[in-house]
A and B are shown apart, each in its own frame.
Chain A
């Protein structure tokens, strides 16, 4: 089945450690996105990529990094520079259709101990 796979689903890390969240899609979508969700804050855009080897900062990119070396993969690294990394992270992809709706993965919950 086509879809978006995020891993791991739950992740714990110590302060000062970098961690990478995986996002893979087999929908053949060009665009991919990373959102962060905190309680009462809705979804906030971290980074997005319209094509391979190109990506743009979203509204809250500080402390995060991404790469887009392959069309189907868009990993997100949460660096030690991110002050409040504990959150629910959602990856999404879309295609340039009439609606262009986002298709989401099931999310990764990161907890910093």
Chain B
């Protein structure tokens, strides 16, 4: 079963508008971390924002905010005032701890955002 689900394969948004990218996750661990990464066409992965499962407030980083709904197991990324440079692939990821105690990140399949002028 998928642990990170991103159901939107692609989205289009007009420049300067806000956009929400969906992410749901599945875990039985009480402690976990959720991440969003951006991947432009050049290929590098850029860390955007982090939300810890015990964090009381929704995370914010500049134009990025994370709408964390723990009971629904969703961690949607909100980008305010979209810019042309926001056009990229976006990946949601969850940190999980293996049986041996080591940590690793599990990624969703990603979704493509296109910002139109």
Contact = CB atoms under 8 A, between A and B. Distances in A.
B45 A48 contact: no
Given A99-B33, A100-B33, A100-B103, A43 B91 contact: yes
Interface string B16-43: 0000000000000000010100000011
Nearest to A103: B47
A99 B50 contact: yes
B105 A102 contact: yes
Contacts of B105: 33, 45, 102
Among A100, A101, A107, max chain B CB count under 10 A is at A101
Contacts of A31: 103
A45 B103 CA distance: 12
B1 to A, nearest CB: 13
| Interface residue range, chain B | 20 to 34
A31 B100 CA distance: 15
A8 B95 CA distance: 28
The A interface is mostly helix, strand or loop, or mixed, namely strand
B102 A48 contact: yes
Nearest to A106: B44
Contacts of B93: 43
Contacts of A88: 43
Interface in A44-97: 44-45, 48, 50, 56, 58, 88, 90, 92
Contact of A45 (B44, B91, B106, B110): B106
Interface of B: 33, 35, 42-45, 47, 50, 52, 91, 93, 95, 98, 100, 102-110
